[in-house]
Amino acid sequence: MRPLAKAPLARHPGVMSRIARRFDRLRAENRAAFIPFVMAGDPSYEASLEIVRALPGAGADLIELGVCFTDPMADGPAIQLAGQRALAAGQTLRRTLDLVSAFREEDQETPIVLMGYYNPIYAYGVERFLKDAKAAGVDGLIVVDLPPEEDEELCLPARKAELDFVRLATPTTDEARLPSVVRNSSGFVYYVSVAGITGGATGEAGAVATAVSRLRSASGLPVAVGFGVKTEARAAEVARDADAVVVGSALIEALAAGLPDGEAAARDAVLDLASRLSRAIRAARQPSEAL
């Protein structure tokens, strides 16, 4: 088992972001975070709000909230279909911010990170988006198609607005590339454990552990591992080394499987799987006799 990453530096003396506070607490508890990904507006605004509101009770430590987009190049079939369902239901970036605002009426503690693509933000207007996202209660951004060379486009303005900007690293991020990847990152680093789209198989455990250690050392930030974590056993395996485990496609697939029986059944399927994944992650670092 690898040690947890050191606490990220506060942005202002004595002030820590919700994300930093949450990882601080997890570090004290010696466990990895469970970060579920769900698509805002899937299968409807109302149903997705119910799911997001219930996720902390199902064991979510942070929540990644997808922003639907017509051309999601990094996503596999499950999340592509989730985005299409959300778009068909009328979901927009503005409605996604409204969903976060509604969530914050009941929960002021659970960090929320928006994950998506730059085009909807660009169309919305960067300055307006950052102001509205901060007001809504968003804590961080993952924008998969903005490389470090474009940091002035959104990353640096987001940091100035006190929103964490979470950068992706992959198995192909070499020593020459790594410094630019982590330079302006904050909150945590998201390690894409395979060179591919969401929903694929995760990398071999030893390789993931080595990558997590390398990224922690380079960034000084917690490292979350995602893309392809689908089972309780695999989530627990990743949780022994990573600071967080991200699960998306498996939850989206559970939702889709439940939809023929109605939105309530889809919601319950997501929350049931989330609860099982959370329990596995929480137990991962316990003594074997406690498992």
Give the 3-state secondary structure of 87-103: HHCCCCHHHHHHHHHHH
Lowest mean pLDDT, pick from 54-58, 77-81, 88-92 = 77-81
Nearest to 5 by CA among 189, 183, 177, 164: 189
Alpha-carbon span 143 to 190, nearest angstrom: 11
- Does the pLDDT of residue 10 top 90, yes or no? no
Average pLDDT over residues 216-232: 94
The two structure tokens encoding residue 106? 């009941």
Give the span between the Cα atoms of 277 and 283, in whole angstroms.
10
Q: Please report the pLDDT score of residue 228 as a whole number.
A: 81
Q: What is the pLDDT of residue 31?
A: 97
Asked if the model's pLDDT at residue 171 lies above 70, the reply is yes
Tell me the pLDDT of the chain averaged across its residues: 90
User: What is the CB neighbour count within 10 angstroms for residue 215?
Assistant: 29
The separation between CA 171 and the C-alpha centre of its own chain, rounded to angstroms, equals 18
In whole angstroms, give the CA distance from residue 30 to residue 213. Answer: 16
**Which domains occur in the chain, in start order?**
18-284 (3.20.20.70)
189-222: pLDDT as tens digits: 999 987 544 444 444 667 889 999 999 999 999 9
Closest Cα partner for 32 from 65, 59, 57, 51? 59
Kindly state the average pLDDT of the residues 73-95: 93
Contacts of 204 (CB under 8 A, 6+ apart): none
Percent of the chain predicted with pLDDT > 90:
82
pLDDT at 157 over 50: yes
Per-residue pLDDT at 286: 86
Cα separation, 88 vs 76, in Å, equals 18
What is the model's pLDDT at position 195?
A: 55
Q: Look at residue 8 and tell me whether its pLDDT is greater than 60.
A: no
Q: What is the DSSP letter of 222?
A: -
Distance CA 44, CA 63 (A): 18
Between CA 282 and CA 244 the distance in angstroms is 11
The residue among 4 and 214 whose pLDDT is bigger is 214
Instruction: Give 3's pLDDT tier (boundaries 50, 70, 90).
Output: very low
Q: What is the mean pLDDT of residues 257-276?
A: 98
- pLDDT over 80 (residue 164): yes
Determine the Cα–Cα distance for residues 53 and 228; give it in Å rounded to an integer. Answer: 24
* Distances in whole angstroms, Cα of residue 280 to Cα of each of 25, 76, 235: 18, 25, 7
**pLDDT level of residue 127 (50, 70, 90 thresholds):** very high
Residue 231 identity: T
Residues that are catalytic? 64, 75
Structure-token pair, residue 29: 């508890």
Average pLDDT estimate for 17-29: 97
pLDDT of residue 232: 96
Q: What is the rounded average pLDDT of the residues 81-85?
A: 96
pLDDT, position 206: 78
3-state SS class at 192:
strand
Q: Greater confidence, 199 or 59?
A: 59
Helix or strand or coil: residue 223?
Answer: strand
How far apart CA 71 and CA 63 sit, in angstroms, is 22
Angle between helices 263-283 and 45-54 (to 10 degrees): 30
**12 against 48, higher pLDDT:** 48
How much is the average pLDDT of 51-76?
Answer: 93
- Span 87-124, pLDDT tens digits: 999 999 999 999 999 999 999 999 999 999 999 999 99
pLDDT of residue 205: 61
CA distance 83 to 68: 5
Range 156-168 average pLDDT: 97
